[in-house]
Each structure stands twice: as structure tokens, then as C-alpha cells.
Structure 1
Amino acid sequence: MNDDLRERIEREAEKHALLNAVKHESDADVGAIMGPLMGENPDFRPHGDEIPGVIGGVIGRVNDLSYEEKRERLEKLAPEELAEIEAEDEEDEHDLPDLPNAEEYDEIRMRCAPNPNGPWHVGHARMPAVIGTYRDRYDSWFCVRFDDTDPETKRPDLEAYDAILEDLDYLGFAPDEVYRASDRLETYYEHARELIELGGAYTCSCSGEAFSELKNAGEACPHRDKDTETVRSEFEAMIDGEYESGEMVLRVKTDIEHKNPALRDWVAFRMIDTPHPREEASEYRCWPMLDFQSGVDDHLLGITHIIRGIDLQDSAKRQRFVYDYFDWEYPEVVHWGHVQLDAYDVKMSTSTISRLIEAGELDGWDDPRAPTLASLRRRGIRGEAIVDAMVELGTSTSDVDLAMSSIYAANRDLIDDETDRRFLVRDGNQLPIGGSPPDEATPPLHPSHEDRGVREIPVGDAVLLEPEDLPGREERIWLKGLGCFQYTRDTLQYTGEGIDVVREGDVDVVHWVPARESVPVRMRTMDGDVTGRAEPGVVDLETDEVVQFERVGFARVDRHDDEETITYYAHP
């Protein structure tokens, strides 16, 4: 790497370090700025292995500045980028549009209606995040209604009911009520009976293939004009379980010539032989389809606003036929597009994740490689950060991309100020110490909070450094919290020089751990387990405590085993 390129890298690194530090009002971090640095300067990429070592000193100098000094320096280097940051801080407090016609209702009532076929993946968080945010804005009411009336195709998982409620609590919301649709079968039967009496439904024994041909041709099913008494009798036989699966259905009578075939005489109830996993519902064989069950429940629960995916537009159209028969007013509807998530190799799908767990390819729903809320929680990421990122997506009907970096940035804003620092060295190289350095290093627990005190790290006769931090012959480095050393005769010789050598840009700042007194740590990450050694005080950290391993990232302490401390990596 020539001198001109090194100067450019250092100059660009200073700008990005300042942007990162000012935006998050915290110290800059190598991991956080590498992405934008390389993205804006593609010609740096061939030197990717060398760059962390080049910019370490730059970041150290930036982090030594006060917030005001950082801001003043950024104003000189990149005034436009600083203006953008400050404009973001002044944006309207509401990322979500107003609910349609909200002023016409005495009380806004919404529902979160999960299918309990497994714990929530990250995409599921959008619904409670938006509903919960609206609830707070309008001082409204919302419930969780488990739409669990498909015991076969989307078979409920008995553990998922509580797991979903735990996920909701993790996100920071508590429903006003919780319902299980499988407890409400008799209610759906009663409304089906009423619909039959109104001439709005008929029993049909056509095969699925036969009815599909008729429907697509716009021709009426031969059972469509059955008399009410026959329909009533056959529906009661469905309830009594006298038909086998596929033998009889109850259809809502719509418009057999409707321009959208999907709306023509759709199924409201069908027979399912597979017992429901919940004991309370295991005897039922006649089950409502989601459009009927959900439509009835939305009316009975007084739901005023439904928020659902754009792919469910036909659901509203189907349900309106039922609402018209009963002379009900349909709720306001907000449709949105799908969320696409980056950073994961595993598809964001409940069935896919479940299959990988069963195959032993994932350790469980909280495996750090799984795109689930349980995984993010175990990694130490706050539910509030997920909510913030989801709300920022708004309610556009277009598909939207959610970058995990936005969740990480929101989480960093929440935890950085309260999170103490520690040293962790991965794949460490051991170097002996000479020159009579202090017996003990005393780096601060937090660089912005001197009142919290320092960590007392014994130095010993050797230290461990990460491979990219190893100095060249006669090169000086600054061991954080300890002092300046020069690599001479295969030994790090203490020079006794002051911090000015760092401020002048001549010396890189690196983290380290004592070779003998350090403790083994295993850090579970999205890319697999990483092993290393940490400063000795890590063994005294409490379970669930989040720390920032300096120049590595944030991690949650999971447990202390006999052989090692287990942590879960959160993000840079």
C-alpha cells in the first residue's frame, strides 16, 4: 500500500468514524464503518485485510474527542452529511400515517391475529410493532387472537401460543385481551346457521376439482339451489362429524359470475379428520375457513381497523359478502407489502425454520443463525430496537427491504451509553512484555462515564493480540488502558511515552488481554462460533448482561460453563 492510498484511507476513515460517532453519540467502531467506507470507495477493497490496521489509530483519535469536538470536526470535513444527520433528528415524530377515518370512532380497536404454528420470525414483528405504536398514539385497544382453526395444513404448535405472547412482551406490548379461535367454534356454528337461514350459504359435496371447473366457467354448482331445510340438516351433520374429510363443505353464496373467480361461492366450513392438538378442541371435525372465522370475530370483537398484507386483499372482498348478509359495517383496512430481510442464509419462514430445527441443522428457535425474535432476544438485542426499525418501514403497499443494520443501529442507540467495555482477543498471538510497564492496566468501564470507574487488568509477562494488530519490526503500538510499546527483538518493550503519540497519528491503538490471566470465551454468531480469550473480569459478569467487546462488538453473556464463558454476539 503506497503512502497516497494510505492517506486517502485515513482521510475517508476519519469522515466515516465521525459520522458514526456523531449520529449515534457514541464511540466509533471499526466494524460499524467498514461497510460504508468500502461501499463509497470500491478501490479500497483489494486492501481489505490491511485497512483495519490502518484506520485503528484514526478511530482512536476520533474517540478521544468530545462530542462537540467530533461535531465541529465533521462540520469541516463533511458539512452536507452532518446536515443530513441533524435533519433526520428533526423529522416528524410519526413514521406511520394516520389511521383512515380514525376521528369517526369513539375507540380504535385492532387485532393481532397470528397463526400459532411456531414462534415468530423477525418479519412477524411488523404487525405488533405497528399495531402497538398505533395503540399508544390513539390510546386504543388491541387483542391477540390466535387464528388456529386449521388443525391439519397449518397445524398449531402447542408451545407457540405462549412463545408468541412472550415475543409480544419482548417487543414491549401487552394485549388487552387474548382469544383462541379454537375456543369459539360454537359461535361460528351459530353464525353459519343464521347465514343459512338468510339464504347466504349452501352445503356442497362436489369434489374440489369438479367445483373448480364450474367456478372457472362461471357456472353454478348443482347444490346451490338446495332448500334451506336440507342445507340446515346437512350442516348439522357436518357439525356432528358424519362426513369424512373432503366429502362436504359449506359455501357462502356470492356471485357465481364475479369477475374474480377466487370470490365465487367460497368455502366457509370444511371437514378435517386430523384432531386439533388442543385437547379442548380435539373433538371437533367441522372447521371454519379463516375468511369466515376471522370475519365473524372482527365484527363481534368490534374491530375498527384491520392491518394486513397486500396478499390478503381477497380476504376483505370475500368477507364483505358475509357482512352484507348480516348488514354489518366492514372495518377500515390498511394493506401493506411484504418485508424482505437481509443478512440471513436461512429463509424467513416458520415452516423452513421448523424443518431445519427438526433436521438438526439449527440448534433451536434461538439459534443465532435463525431469523427469529427468540434469536435476537438471546443475542441481547432490545425489542424496542426491532419496533423502531419496523415502524420506520411505514405501511407502504410495496414490498420493503429491512436491513438488519437498521435494527443494529437502533439497538446501539439504546444500549451504548449503559454498556460497559471489555477486551476480547480472537485467535490471539502471544508476545512477551518487557521494559517494566505498569503491573496493572486500568482502562475505563465506559469512555464517556468516568464515574463508573475502571477495570483492573493484570498485565503479567505476555499479552495476546489479534493477528491484524501485530506490529512490524520497531513499530510502536498503544495497548488500550496500558501505554505505548515498541516491537523490538520479538518483545513488546514499554516506552513510557504519553498519549500524544496517538493523537499525533504515529501510533495505532489496539486492544489486548494478558496471556496468562485471560479467560476463555466462546461467542456464538450468525456465521458460527468464535473462540477467544477475554480480560479476567468477564467471568464475573451476570447472565444476560450485555457488554461491548472493544473493537469487536456488543454481546450478551449467556452463561459461565466450567471450561468457558458463552456469549452471543449482537452486532458491531
Structure 2
Amino acid sequence: MDDELRERVEREAEKHALLNAVKHESDANVGAVMGPLMGDNPDFRQHADDIPGVIGGVIGRVNDLEYAQKRERLEELAPEELAEIEAEDEEDEHDLPDLPRADEYDEIRMRCAPNPNGPWHVGHARMPAVIGTYRDRYDGWFCVRFDDTDPETKRPDLTAYDSILEDLEYLGFEPDDVFRASDRLETYYDHARELIDLGGAYTCSCSGEEFSELKNSGEACPHRDKDDQTVFEEFEDMIAGEYESGEMVLRVKTDIEHKNPALRDWVAFRMIDTPHPREEASEYRCWPMLDFQSGVDDHLIGITHIIRGIDLQDSAKRQRFVYDYFDWEYPEVVHWGHVQIDAYDVKMSTSTISELIEDGELEGWDDPRVPTLKSLRRRGIRGEAIVESMVGLGTSTSDVDLAMSTIYANNRELIDEETDRRFFVRDGNQIPLGGSPPDEADPLRHPNHEDRGVREIPVGDSVLLEPDDLPQREERIWLKGLGCFQYTRDTLQYTGDDIDVVREGDVDVIHWVPATESVSLRMRTPDGDVRGHAEPGVGDLEPDELVQFVRVGFARIDRQDEDETVAYFTHE
């Protein structure tokens, strides 16, 4: 390669190394630079064997620069490419698109409207994660409104109200207000009376089958033309509990010939004999359907933007009939697809989980085998990691898949640097030590933070190793923090070799615990309990402390029982 070509290669390599380093805010490497370098300079390809040696030194010099220096140099060499990178960064600043017509509202107001029939599973986190993020972006407002007006088929769980608010706090958000729809029955009754007065509703005693037949054929119900006074009287009788379940409903007048039969004269109120579990609402028997209750509340609370599933598009269409009667402006709506979560055998359904708990197959809502937020919290996963993962899904109308590995990766970034390392051996095999090894091992608390010091582990006369780590005859291994040993005559003989034997790649590095002074530990995982022994210091850790068991994974210390330490597996 002549000098002129070498100079060109170095110049182009510096540009591409800077582009790579600035874009990713990290060091460049030869592999990442070679592709674009060759792509932009096809004539370099005939020198492909020589180029890595030329550009290695260039990349090293680039990596020695501070980020600000890299950016400054890139601005000199390739200002247009730098501008493109910064434009991409600006576009990627938000995973969520701007809310429609956001600049036309004095304040963005949103609501999270859970049904309190049980604690939240992982999928439930998407709504508060997204609306909480929008609230923060627009300096807006959001509330939690418990849509608990179905005391029968989606019967509220009295413990779920506080549980959901705790889950919301775990995710890092505090609502600006909290409402319970079951406290607002009189408000819904008043609006139903007004709707009747406007000629927009009528009482109907048709059976479900009768009305369905009429609706599907586009024929009006015979009760549709009742005079308002009769409708008023019958609705008041509904409120007074004079009818039994299924005997009378209040319907919203829409278009009986509407092309979508689901929108034809839909039910706004129905009778339910099952008392509401909340004492304050237990006397009511006339209950609004969700589309009526939610539609009225969204207006009264001043909601500007609604996010709901694509399968609920008909809800907005039904509610618009009510809004038209009252001459209200309907909020902006963003529809999104469902989110599916992998990695769990237990179906992500509140009712399914509840049944398994009642049957004794699960220990509770925080059992590590269930996909609930309570379970993830007990395992030591931070709410921030879940929010980041959910926001990253955006608001596409397509169904989306979220791998738990994404949540784990986000959580790992949050906890890795601050979490000390420990040893935990599963199903250990006891092996004697020989050759006068040190009395005490001193592995680092964290490999990247020598300033945190070491753990002092007494060695004793034997160790526990995991079955897969048992060496072959005469094979050498390195016990982390202790030294090099050779497996001879069923004994690990201390050799005294220094760490160079590891650097040379001849010796495997494995974890271990002392056989006599280790701590019995049970680790609860999504796949069942794992038992083993941990290094002695683990028995002194406080509940909620996180550790990383070397070559096993992260775990949260749950409790210290008399005969064992219990930890919950977080992730690898």
C-alpha cells in the first residue's frame, strides 16, 4: 500500500470511527468501522487484508478522545453527517408520537381507568406508563378512575383499589386525582334523566334475544316511541330497584338502521341483583354500562385525550351519540393494539391467576411464577425498567410482542453497577482441598469498582462446586478470589499459580462456597424453587438488598429465616 492510499485510508477511517463513536456515544471498534469504510470506498476492497492493520491505530487515537473532542473533530471532517446523526437523535428522543392536536389544549388531561377486579399484571403497566410519560412531557394532568360499575361479571375486589395505586407508585407515577365510579351513581342518573328529556333514551323490557333479533334486522323496538313521562317513571322505578335483573334496561336512541348493528340503540343502564362489594354502593341495583359511565365521566372530568385498545373502537362511536345529544366535544382518541408478553406459563389474566391462587396452585399475587407487577417488584425489578419497555412499544394499532428479556435488559442497566457480587452454588458437590491454600478468599465486591473492597470468605478444608463445574482428573481450575487448583486423587490441590494461567486461556474460572460455613439458600424463580448454598456473608444481608450471584444471576434478598435465606430470582 503506497503512502497516498494509506493517507486516504487513515482519513476515511478517522471519519467513520468518529461517526460510530459519536452516534453510539461509545468507543469505536474495527468491526464497526470496516463495513461503512469499504462501502463508501469500493477501491479499498482489493487491500482488505492490509486495511485492519492501518486503521487500528486510527481507531485507538479516536477512542482516546473525550466525547466533546470527538464531536468537535467530526464537525470539522464531516459536518453534514454529524447533522444527520443529531437529527436522528432528536427524532428518537421520544418513542411516543405527539398527541393529536396537543397544542390546541390549555392542559393535556388523561385518565387511567382500571377495573379493580384484581392486581395488575405486566400488560396493565402499558397504560399508566404511557399516560404518565405524556403527562410529564406536556406538563399535564392524569387521574386514576376506577370503572367499577359492574358488581357481577367483573366484580370488584376490595383489596384491588389500594393494590393498583401501589402498583402505580411502583411504576413511578402519582395520579393527580382518584375517582371511583361507584361513588358517582347519582351523577349518572342525573345525566340519564337529562338524556331522556332530550328524547335520547327509552326504557325497554324486551328480552335480550328479542331485541337482538329486532336490532339485527334493523327494526325499531316497540318501546322506542314511549312518551317521555312513561320513560321517566320507569327509569325512576329502575333506580328504586323495582325491577329484577334482565327485566328492564334504559337504551340510548341511535340509528336503528346503522350499518354497524352493535351501535343500534345500545344499553346505557341495566338492573343487577348482586350487591356491590363496596358498602357505600351496596344498595344500588340500577347500574350504568361502561360506555355511558365512562363517556359522562370523561366529559365531566375534562379528559382531552383517551388511549384505548383498537378493539374498543365501537366505544367511541357509541359515546359520540351521547355527546351529540348533550352538545359536548368528544376527546381525542388514540387506539393501540394489544401487547403480548412472553416467558410465562401462567396465562396473563386476572381471573385465571385468581383461580390458581384460590386452588392453592400459586402462593399469591407476588408468586414468582405469575406475570404480575407485584411479582416483578418482589423479584427486584424496578418499575422504571418496565415503564421504559412499555413506552418503547409506542402506540401502534398493530398487536405488539414484548419480550421479558427487554424488561430484564433495561433493569440490568439500572442495577448492574450498584449491585455487589456474591457466590451461590446450586446442588453443590463437596470436594476436599489440599496443598495449603489461603485461609481466606478475597473476591472483589464488584469487578468494576475496586474501591468498594473485597468480601472476606473463610475457606476451610473443603468447598462446594456446581456439578457442571467439576473438573476432570488432573485438570486445573481457578476458584474465584482464591487461586489455582488441580484436581488430583479426588482432591483440589492448591498449585499457587498466578492469574496468568487464566489470561492464557488454559484454566476455567468458577465460583464456589466453603462447605462448612456456607449459608443454606432457597431461590424462588419463575420455574420453581432452586436450593443451594451461598457464601457466609449472604446470611447477613437485609431484606430488599440486591445481589448478583456470579454466573447465576441477580436476586433480591426476601427474608432471613431461622434455617435458610430466601431470595427471589430477578434475571440473569
Bucket of the pairwise TM-score, normalised by the shorter protein? 0.7 to 0.9
| SS of equivalent to 2:538 | helix
| SS of equivalent to 2:554 | strand
| Residue 294 in structure 1 maps to residue 263 in structure 2 | no
Q: Distance in 2 between matches of 1:173 and 1:264?
A: 39
Q: Deviations over 1:164-205 (max 9, x none)?
A: 000000000000000000000000000000000000000000
Letter in 2 for 1:453: G
The offset of 1:87, in angstroms, is 12
| SS of equivalent to 2:376 | helix
Q: Distance in 2 between matches of 1:532 and 1:392?
A: 37
Change beyond 3 A, Cα 1:89–1:345: farther
Letter in 2 for 1:493: Q
The offset of 1:89, in angstroms, is 8.5
Q: Distance in 2 between matches of 1:229 and 1:335?
A: 39
Question: In the alignment, is the contact (CA less than 8 A) between 1:24 and 1:412 conserved in 2?
Answer: no
Structure 2: stretches of 5+ with no match in the other structure: 1-23, 27-62, 65-85
Query: What's 1:452 paired with?
Result: 452
1:162-561 equivalences in 2 (<5 Å): 162-561=162-561
The offset of 1:88, in angstroms, is 10
Q: Distance in 2 between matches of 1:513 and 1:134?
A: 49
Q: Deviations over 1:63-103 (max 9, x none)?
A: xxxxx89xxxxxxxxxxxxxxxx999897221111111101
The offset of 1:488, in angstroms, is 1.1
Question: In the alignment, is the contact (CA less than 8 A) between 1:128 and 1:168 conserved in 2?
Answer: yes
Change beyond 3 A, Cα 1:544–1:150: same
Change beyond 3 A, Cα 1:88–1:364: farther
RMSD, matched Cα: 1.6
Query: What's 1:565 paired with?
Result: 565
Paired residues, what number? Answer: 492
Q: Distance in 1 between matches of 2:447 and 2:173?
A: 33
| SS of equivalent to 1:498 | coil
Q: Deviations over 1:446-485 (max 9, x none)?
A: 1111111110000000011111111111111110011111
The offset of 1:281, in angstroms, is 0.3
Query: What's 2:113 paired with?
Result: 113
The offset of 1:113, in angstroms, is 0.0
Q: Deviations over 1:198-217 (max 9, x none)?
A: 00000000000000000000
Q: Deviations over 1:122-157 (max 9, x none)?
A: 100000000011111111000000000000010000
Larger Rg: 2
Q: Distance in 2 between matches of 1:346 and 1:540?
A: 34
| SS of equivalent to 2:195 | helix
TM-score (norm 1): 0.85
Letter in 2 for 1:396: S
The offset of 1:315, in angstroms, is 0.3
- Percent identity, aligned pairs only? 86
Query: What's 2:126 paired with?
Result: 126
Q: Distance in 1 between matches of 2:176 and 2:453?
A: 44
The offset of 1:420, in angstroms, is 0.6
Structure 1: stretches of 5+ with no match in the other structure: 1-22, 26-67, 70-85
Q: Distance in 2 between matches of 1:243 and 1:322?
A: 25
| SS of equivalent to 1:417 | coil
Letter in 2 for 1:394: G
The offset of 1:308, in angstroms, is 0.6
Query: What's 1:34 paired with?
Result: none
Q: Distance in 2 between matches of 1:507 and 1:89?
A: 44
Q: Deviations over 1:14-66 (max 9, x none)?
A: xxxxxxxxx999xxxxxxxxxxxxxxxxxxxxxxxxxxxxxxxxxxxxxxxxx
Change beyond 3 A, Cα 1:88–1:162: farther
Q: Distance in 2 between matches of 1:522 and 1:101?
A: 54
Letter in 2 for 1:320: R
Change beyond 3 A, Cα 1:87–1:475: farther
The offset of 1:120, in angstroms, is 0.3
Query: What's 2:102 paired with?
Result: 102
Q: Deviations over 1:483-539 (max 9, x none)?
A: 111111111111111111111100110000000010100000001000000000001
Q: Distance in 1 between matches of 2:251 and 2:154?
A: 21
Q: Distance in 2 between matches of 1:146 and 1:297?
A: 11
Query: What's 2:145 paired with?
Result: 145
The offset of 1:437, in angstroms, is 1.0
